[in-house]
Amino acid sequence: MTDARTPLDSATIAEEDDGIRLDRWFKRHREGTPHALLARWARSGQLTLDGKKADVSDRIATGQKLVMPTPPVETVARPARKGRPLTDADVELATGMMIHRDASAIILNKLPGLATQGGTKTEQHVDGLLDALKFDGPTRPKLVHRLDKDTSGALLIARTPRAAAYFAKSFSNRSAKKTYWALIVGVPDIQQGEIDLPLAKQPGSGGEKMHVHDSGLASKTRYRVIERAGNSAAWVELQPLTGRTHQLRVHMAAIGHPIVGDGKYGGKGAFLTGTISRKMHLHSRRLRIDHPDGGAIDISAELPDHFAASLDDLGFDLLLGDIGIEAGEKGPPPKSALKAQAKAHSKQIRKARRGERRGRTAEGKPTDFVGKPKPKAKAKPGKPAPKKLAGKKPSAKKHAARPPKAS
């Protein structure tokens, strides 16, 4: 209940704030208001949207009327963090990666080796270059998703708060479609299918590494073999149906075909000999997402030099890459059989991993297959167990294998 003596303030939600959280609105328009104070106002009913009690986590909409108490002491906005001043080379780098620009969005073809966001000992990253991409926009552009440092390709940047909220929702509800190209070691037995293996953070890695684990979050990846180089390597198209950290890298390594250059998950086996680069061969090739102003963005990012050179060295035809998974899905029903085979393949992998864990706890007992102790031979009732003759090997003729029974 609002105290009648508490002075009130009000505001109408602008279009640029449509879809954001209420606490985010306060960070933009009432800088310095402590979050603890906002939470107290919400609990006591002093925050309302269109006359209804509001929570700090509520999403707000254009035109709503927000009523709030006026802080008893004028809040002072904290000074904005000052980043490293941009050089001419930084501006050239940022604008040189741009492959699409409109009033709401910018799409970059991110270079391999460039981090999306800053971190320990990471001085140059996309987030730090965004001031160079403001142009005539009302606010500083904002990241709405990310790519791993060594992954190249299409990266979406929102130019307005409204666009950022819209795009973020598209990624969270999986309506945005991302297509990746990868070069992998070996060739999957199933040419097109789905990998369904749950992923969790690997203990002891500080959250920097993922692994397949039964208690992990559901994770699905659709794949298609575009072309193969004998049995040594394959060029594949990947579509993440969920958005887990390092999902594509872990899934490909888990089925025995790590992405070329991914030593983190593939170890020494993730590198090919000869002229093939040791850099990561994972590229965000295509991004399709609805546009907040209507229509859709559908754009493809060209391969980085090392990836293109590897495909050329292996004799792959680039024209085959754009015949996507969707084109195959429009064909006849055999797709369902491929999916069933792929899911069965994933199930076998999970069983094998469970077996490996049981095998590690078997206290060194001999095994003849993964995870289960080798069974001891039992004598048949009424017949003594055969005795071994010292110094004499039984002949193959006397102990020939019995033919299998007819089914």
- Per the DSSP assignment, residues forming a β-bridge with 182 are 236, 282
Q: Which residues of the chain have pLDDT under 50?
A: 1-4, 73-81, 327-335, 361-374, 388-403, 406-407
pLDDT of residue 354: 63
CATH 3.10.290.10 segments of the chain: 8-69
CATH 3.30.2350.10 segments of the chain: 88-170, 174-348
pLDDT of residue 123: 82
With CA atoms as reference, report the closest residue to 46 among 110, 81, 3: 3
Q: Within 10 A of 356 (CB to CB), how many other CB atoms are there?
A: 11
Residues tagged active-site: 148
Classify domain 174-348 by CATH number: 3.30.2350.10
Tell me the three-class secondary structure of the chain, residue by residue.
CCCCCCCEEEEECCHHHCCCEHHHHHHHHCCCCCHHHHHHHHHCCCCEECCEECCCCCECCCCCEEEEECCCCCCCCCCCCCCCCCCHHHHHHHHHCEEEECCCEEEEEECCCCECCCECCECCEHHHHHHHHCCCCCCCCEECCCCCCCCEEEEEEECCHHHHHHHHHHHHCCCCEEEEEEEEECCCCCCEEEEECCEEECCCCCCCCEEECCCCECCEEEEEEEEEECCCEEEEEEEECCCCCCHHHHHHHHCCCCECCCHHHHHHHHCCCCCCCCCCCEEEEEEEEECCCCCEEEEECCCCHHHHHHHHHCCCCHHHHHCCHHHHHCCCCHHHHHHHHHHHHHHHHHHHHHHHHHHHCCCCCCEEECCEECCCCCCCCCCCCCCCCCCCCCCCCCCCCCCCCCC
pLDDT of residue 325: 56
What is d(CA 134, CA 182) in angstroms, rounded to the nearest whole number?
32
pLDDT of residue 119: 72
Using DSSP bridges, classify how beta strands 177-185 and 192-196 pair: parallel, antiparallel or unpaired.
unpaired
pLDDT of residue 363: 46
What is d(CA 257, CA 61) in angstroms, rounded to the nearest whole number?
46
Instruction: Compute CA distances 402 → 305, 394, 397, whole Å.
Output: 60, 16, 11
pLDDT of residue 290: 96
pLDDT of residue 79: 45
- Is domain 8-69 in CATH 3.10.290.10, yes or no? yes
pLDDT of residue 357: 54
pLDDT of residue 126: 96
Reported as a single tens digit per residue, the pLDDT across 5-42 is 567 888 888 777 777 889 888 887 777 788 888 889 99
Residues 1-18: b if buried by 16+ CB within 10 A, e if exposed? eeeeeeeeeeeebeebbb
Task: Give 88-170's CATH code, choosing from 3.40.630.30, 3.10.310.30, 3.30.2350.10, 3.30.70.360.
Answer: 3.30.2350.10
Which pTM value belongs to this model?
0.67
Residues 6+ apart with CB under 8 A from 259: 182, 183, 184, 185, 248, 249, 252, 253, 265, 266, 270, 280, 281, 282
Reported as a single tens digit per residue, the pLDDT across 94-117 is 999 999 999 999 999 999 999 998
pLDDT of residue 369: 35
pLDDT of residue 271: 97
